[in-house]
Amino acid sequence: MIPEITIIGGNIAGLSAAYYLSKKGFYVTLYEAKLWNKPCGGAISLEFEQYLSDELNIVLEESDHYTERFKVGLWSGRYMEDVGVFRVTTRYDLQKKLIERLIKETNIEIKYKRVSFKDELFTPQTIVATGYSGFTNKVMERRWRFNDKALTLRYDGKFSGTYPNTNLIVLDHKKMGYGWVFVGKNDHINVGVGAVASREFLWNRFYDFFDLIADKYGYNIDPPSKKPQAWYLPIPTNKKKIPISNLKDGIEFIGVGDVLGLAHPLSGAGIEPAWQSGWVLSECITKNRIDTTRYQWLLLKNLRLSSWRWLDQFASIVSRINFPFKSTLGYFALHFIRHRMLTMMRKYPWFSLVHDGTKKTRFKS
């Protein structure tokens, strides 16, 4: 008999879990509320882009202002420039293409429905991939503390003047966060700020950011005529303390992606850890059941760029404290470690699966 499993939430983490569980012989029913452009910066590494193309034949949309150039700067205007680390996509394009690809699999069924806890459609083990949401809080019985989540504001607006050929990330010395300007399609530009901060503080900081990028970086963006989109991103410092599953009314709910707060606590990058968690989950099947102890272990061993390592934990705790010259120190730290970071990323076990097929040697089981 074919084992069946239900997944709630059909963005990165849910779709990844669906894809890999179906490869392990499961019949997957996935529920997604709707296809939509949830607020997201959309920065992904070039390695992940390559992976999507090699593994799933997904070619991401290239915007008319596509660039791999970026600047990382300070509020003072001092910056460093690099190229060839990440590209920007839209969360909508990524989700749409993943869904289009996955519906071709015979043992994956995707249904558009906003699921509530009262719906009787759960399998004994059900995958929760609903990110930061009421459903997650309900079934995982989770409450993120103030310091464990970043508030992010994003505005998708029109650029006036000469369109920039460089993405920009500016570290914010006043609070624990940063702002970004990512170039996009049809002269649109994706601007956001994110931080562990109160709503009022970040709201003001968001408008300051427009003045700053015009003044110091020459990015003249028409001020938003409507309110930016706001969303929370769970970025707990100690992810080992977050339970990966919860037993509620006889159903074992198992989290993937943002449900487990897997995004990197400094960069906020959560797309790749979300995808990887779906894959790791599928590596934990014993007798048609997910072994959650093994799942926890494999996440710890394999998601090196999320904050499950002590160094990242330490850095993320420091980043949430205010002290003099914090931003300048952060800037120099970044300057010195960036090549090491890049080398590490390229040795990342995940990508080595694609590039040299060394799954057995790189994957830590």
Ligand X SMILES: Cc1cc2nc3c(=O)[nH]c(=O)nc-3n(C[C@H](O)[C@H](O)[C@H](O)COP(=O)(O)OP(=O)(O)OC[C@H]3O[C@@H](n4cnc5c(N)ncnc54)[C@H](O)[C@@H]3O)c2cc1C
Give the range of 96-104, 131-139, 335-343, 355-363 binding ligand X by CB under 6 A.
Answer: 131-139
Least Å distance, CB 24 to ligand X, is 19
| Residue count (the chain) | 365
CB hemisphere CA count around 212 (13 angstroms): 25
In this complex, which beta carbon is closest to ligand X, that of residue 177 or of residue 192?
192
Contacting residue, 11, 166, 319, 327, with ligand X by CB under 6 A: 11
Q: What is the CA radius of gyration of the chain?
A: 20
Least Å distance, CB 91 to ligand X, is 6
Least Å distance, CB 263 to ligand X, is 4
Give the range of 21-29, 170-178, 271-279, 296-304 binding ligand X by CB under 6 A.
Answer: 271-279
Q: How far apart are CA 124 and CA 76, in angstroms?
A: 54
Contacting residue, 270, 305, 331, 348, with ligand X by CB under 6 A: 270
Residue 144 CA: distances (Å) to CA of 147, 211, 259, 279 = 8, 32, 10, 25
Q: How far apart are CA 252 and CA 140, in angstroms?
A: 9
114 counts as binding ligand X under rule CB under 6 A: yes
| Contact indicator for 153, 202 with CB cutoff of 8 Å | yes
Q: Which of 231, 263, 267, 270 is nearest to 152 (CA)?
A: 231
Helix 91-102 with 12-23: angle, nearest 10 deg: 20
239 counts as binding ligand X under rule CB under 6 A: no
Give residues 176-195 in contact with ligand X (rule: CB under 6 A).
Answer: 192
DSSP string, 245-302: EEEETTEEEEE-GGGGT-S-TTT---HHHHHHHHHHHHTTEETTEE-HHHHHHHHHHH
- What is the number of other CB atoms lying within 10 angstroms of the CB of residue 364? 11
Contacting residue, 102, 183, 196, 271, with ligand X by CB under 6 A: 271
Give residues 206-235 in contact with ligand X (rule: CB under 6 A).
Answer: 231, 233
> Binders of ligand X: how many residues, by CB under 6 A?
38
Contacting residue, 5, 21, 41, 196, with ligand X by CB under 6 A: 41
Mask: binding to ligand X, 46-85, rule CB under 6 A, as x and -?
----------------------------------------
Contacting residue, 90, 152, 237, 306, with ligand X by CB under 6 A: 152
Residues pairing with 230 in the sheet: 153
Contacting residue, 228, 236, 261, 268, with ligand X by CB under 6 A: 268
Which spans of this chain sit near ligand X (rule: CB under 6 A)? 8-14, 31-33, 38-44, 114-115, 129-131, 133, 135, 152, 154, 192, 231, 233, 257-258, 263, 268-272, 274
